[in-house]
C-alpha cells in the first residue's frame, strides 16, 4: 500500500511538472522593455495574491494553447516583482491583458473567456484595414461576422483621399475593438446601395447603415464608428459592460433568467420589447441608448448595490454612474410605457439613483464587504470559519478572560477591605472593652437565683 501511495504522489508530481513544461505561457521579467519590439505579444499583467488572476490562469493557458501556431507570443508578468514594467504600460489593476506590437498597445476590455481573448488577438494582430476586393470576399466577411458587426470603406482605391485617411487612422486606434475593411463599388452586392461615394458602411443585424454626416470630420466619424460597433440588442456578459460604456451611451439593460419556467412568458415578453425598441425605434433612441440583454443578475446587483430578482430593467448612465428603474411594474411592460420611460430619462424628467457621491462610496464599501463575506461562505464553509469564526472565538475568549480577571480583582479587593475593617475593629480597644464587660457581668447561675 505504501508503494502505491508513493506511485500516486510521483505521478501527480510528474503530471504537474509536464504541465508546466508544456505550458506555452512565457514568464517575463524586467528585460521585456527591451524585448517588446521583437514581434507581437499578448501579455497578462498579474499579481500572485490576486484571486481574479488565479481564476484566469487556466483560461490563459488555454489561450496560449489555441494561439500556439499564431505569430503572437503569449506571456505574463508578475507586477509585484517588476513594478517598473507594469508602470511603463500604465497597468492600474489586476489582471490586465494587453496586446503589444512595438509602439502599438491595445488593452482587452471584454470578457475574460478564451473565446473573447482569442477574438481580441485576431482583431489586434491583423492589419488595421483589411482588403475586401470582391463580392465573394464580402459574403465571406458577412458570414464570419454574422453575430457581430464590421465596417467597410467604399472608394476608388485612392488611399490618399481625405475620408480614407480619417477612416484608416480611426481603424488603427480601434483595431482591437472592431473589424475594418476597404473595397470598391465592385465589392458590394446589388442589394446594397449607397447615397454617396466614397462612403463608410456598417453591417450588422442582417442589414447595413451608412455614415451620413455632411461634414465628415475626424471626430464625427470616430463618434459614429464608436456608437455603431455593437449590434442593436446583443447578449452580453458582465465583462463586456466596460467596453460598451466607452460608446458614451446609456445602457438599457434587460436581465432575464432563461431557466425560470414560472416566468417564461414574462421573460419572453420583456425581451421582445427590448428587441423591438432596438430595431423599430432605432431612429428615436439609438443616438442616446444602447440596448442589451444578459443573464448575469450579479452585474446589476453590483451596480445598484441591491439584491434583485429577474426579470430586471435597468438604465445605466455610463458617464455619471446614475441608474434608473422603470416607474411601472415589469409585468405591465408595453412598447408605449418603455418608450415614455426612456424619453423622460433623456429629457431629465426622472430622478436618478446612484452616482458617485460620498454616501454612495460609503455604501459601496459596506456592500463589497458584505458580498465578499457571502461569497466566502458560499464557496467554502471551512474557509469562512477559519477567516471569521476562529478570530471571533479568540476575541471572545480574550474579552471573557479580561472580564473575569476584573471581577476577581474586585472580590479580592472586597475581601481585603473586610479584613482591614476587622483588624481595625479588634485593634482599636474594643477587645479590651468586651473582656471587661465579661468580667463584670454575673455568672448565669447567679442571675438565675
The three-point CA angle 358-361-366 to 5° equals 125
CA dihedral 313, 318, 323, 324 (to 10 degrees): -50
CA neighbor of 77 nearest in space, from 64, 67, 89: 89
Q: How far apart are CA 322 and CA 141, in angstroms?
A: 38
Among residues 20, 50, 79, 399, the one annotated as catalytic is 50
Helix (H) or strand (E) holding 107: strand 104-107
Is 50 an active-site residue? Answer: yes
Is 53 an active-site residue? Answer: yes
What separation, in Å, do the N-terminal and C-terminal C-alpha atoms of the chain show? 102
C-alpha cell at position 30: 524586467
Residue 24: exposure state from Cβ atoms within 10 A (0-12, 13-18, ≥19): middle
CB neighbours of 37 closer than 8 A, spacing ≥ 6? 102
The three-point CA angle 96-99-103 to 5° equals 115
Helix axes 114-125, 51-66, angle to 10 degrees: 60
Within 10 Å of residue 367's Cβ, how many Cβ atoms? Answer: 16
Among residues 20, 53, 399, 404, the one annotated as catalytic is 53
What residues are annotated to the active site?
50, 53
Amino acid at each position: 500500500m505504501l508503494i502505491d501511495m508513493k506511485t500516486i504522489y510521483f505521478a501527480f508530481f510528474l503530471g504537474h511538472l509536464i504541465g508546466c513544461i508544456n505550458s506555452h505561457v512565457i514568464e517575463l521579467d524586467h528585460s521585456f522593455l527591451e524585448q517588446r519590439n521583437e514581434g507581437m505579444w499578448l501579455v497578462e499583467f498579474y499579481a500572485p495574491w490576486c484571486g481574479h488572476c488565479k481564476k484566469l490562469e487556466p483560461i490563459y493557458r488555454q489561450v496560449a494553447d489555441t494561439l500556439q501556431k499564431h505569430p503572437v507570443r503569449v506571456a505574463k508578468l508578475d507586477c509585484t516583482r517588476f513594478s517598473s514594467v507594469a508602470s511603463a504600460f500604465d497597468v492600474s489593476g489586476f489582471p490586465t491583458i494587453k496586446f503589444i506590437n512595438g509602439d502599438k498597445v491595445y488593452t482587452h476590455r471584454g470578457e475574460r473567456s478564451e473565446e473573447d481573448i482569442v477574438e481580441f488577438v485576431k482583431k489586434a494582430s491583423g492589419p488595421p484595414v483589411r482588403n475586401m476586393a470582391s463580392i465573394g470576399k464580402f459574403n465571406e466577411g458577412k458570414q464570419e461576422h454574422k453575430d457581430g458587426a464590421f465596417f467597410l470603406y467604399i472608394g476608388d482605391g485612392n488611399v490618399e483621399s481625405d475620408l480614407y485617411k480619417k477612416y484608416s487612422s480611426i481603424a488603427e486606434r480601434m483595431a482591437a475593438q472592431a473589424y475594418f475593411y476597404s473595397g470598391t463599388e465592385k465589392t458590394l452586392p446589388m442589394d446594397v446601395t449607397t447615397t454617396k461615394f466614397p462612403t463608410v458602411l456598417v453591417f450588422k443585424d442582417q442589414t447595413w447603415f451608412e455614415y451620413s454626416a455632411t461634414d465628415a470630420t475626424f471626430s464625427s466619424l470616430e463618434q459614429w464608428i464608436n456608437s455603431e460597433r455593437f449590434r442593436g440588442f446583443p447578449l452580453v456578459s458582465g465583462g463586456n459592460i466596460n467596453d460598451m460604456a466607452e460608446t458614451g451611451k446609456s445602457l438599457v439593460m434587460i436581465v432575464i433568467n432563461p431557466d425560470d419556467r414560472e416566468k417564461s412568458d414574462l421573460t419572453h415578453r420583456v425581451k421582445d420589447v427590448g428587441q423591438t425598441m432596438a430595431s423599430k425605434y432605432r431612429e428615436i433612441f439609438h443616438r442616446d441608448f444602447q440596448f442589451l440583454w444578459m443573464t448575469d443578475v450579479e452585474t446589476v446587483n453590483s451596480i445598484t448595490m441591491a439584491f434583485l430578482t429577474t426579470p430586471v430593467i435597468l438604465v445605466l448612465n455610463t458617464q455619471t454612474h446614475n441608474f434608473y428603474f422603470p416607474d411601472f411594474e415589469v409585468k405591465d411592460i408595453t412598447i408605449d410605457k418603455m418608450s415614455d420611460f426612456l424619453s423622460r430619462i433623456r429629457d431629465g424628467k426622472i430622478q436618478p439613483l446612484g452616482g458617485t457621491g460620498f454616501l454612495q462610496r460609503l455604501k459601496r464599501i459596506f456592500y463589497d464587504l458584505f458580498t465578499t463575506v457571502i461569497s466566502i461562505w458560499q464557496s467554502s464553509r471551512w474557509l469562512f470559519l477559519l477567516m471569521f469564526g476562529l478570530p471571533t472565538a479568540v476575541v471572545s475568549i480574550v474579552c471573557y478572560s479580561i472580564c473575569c480577571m476584573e471581577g476577581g480583582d474586585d472580590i479580592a479587593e472586597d475581601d481585603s477591605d473586610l479584613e482591614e475593617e476587622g483588624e481595625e475593629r479588634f485593634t482599636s480597644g474594643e477587645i479590651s472593652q468586651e473582656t471587661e464587660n465579661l468580667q463584670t457581668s454575673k455568672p448565669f447561675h447567679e442571675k438565675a437565683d
